[in-house]
Homo-oligomer: A and B are copies of this chain.
Amino acid sequence: MRPLPLDQVYRFIEPGPVVLLSTAQDGHANVMTMSWHMMMEFTPPLIACIVSEGDFSFRALKATGECVIAIPAVGLAEKVVAAGNASGRDGDKFARVGLTPAPASKVGAPLVKECFANLECRVVDTALVPAYNLFVLEVVAAWSDPAQEAPKTLHHRGYGTFAVDGEIITLDSRMP
């Protein structure tokens, strides 16, 4: 994987793909599926996300303040759904769903090797965790996989139905 400039991170999150969120606590890595996230700032890149108190990852995210957001392409759809339907309470979810953890550079949570982009994040604001389980993350390092060209992402519409990226169009625009 090669470094992804931090000022380009928003171009991966703003389109609203389903992502994987990895954490690690006491030597145990975990991964969950997440669709409730958004960009908050370009540089340094800030991302908001909702991680429910009911999710096993909540505890690790709160305790360690670190995670990785990994973006899967459509070929990983079955693993994405499997990760969303299993709990880290029941053992090593990486192994169970067939995903590969890899060491990150700045955080204890692992990268997800099969994903075309990996964003290493630190929690920088927990003010809205008590009311809404809303975490504010800063992306401190980012990676993309040059071997995955033009990856198509998944957009969850509920109950396992996803819109897959189709046509890519470009209109004349000054919007970043």
Interface-side segment among A21-29, A58-66, A164-172: A164-172
Q: Would you call B163 and A14 a contact (CB within 8 A)?
A: no
* Contact status of A78 and B171, CB under 8 A, knowing A16-B16, A36-B40, A155-B165: yes
Q: Which residue of B lies closest to A154 (CB)?
A: B169
Q: Would you call A155 and B155 a contact (CB within 8 A)?
A: yes
Chain B neighbourhood of A35, CB < 8 A: 14-16, 39
Q: Which residues of A from 123 to 176 have beta carbons under 8 Å from B?
A: 125, 127-128, 131-132, 134, 136, 152-153, 155-176
| Interchain CA distance A20-B152 in the complex, whole Å | 24
Picked from B77, B136, B168, the residue with its CB within 8 Å of the CB of A164 is B168
* Chain A: interface residue total (CB-CB under 8 A): 55
A46 to chain B, nearest CB (A): 7
Q: Which residues of A contact B (CB under 8 A)?
A: 10-11, 14-17, 33, 35-41, 46, 48-50, 74, 77-78, 81, 84-85, 125, 127-128, 131-132, 134, 136, 152-153, 155-176
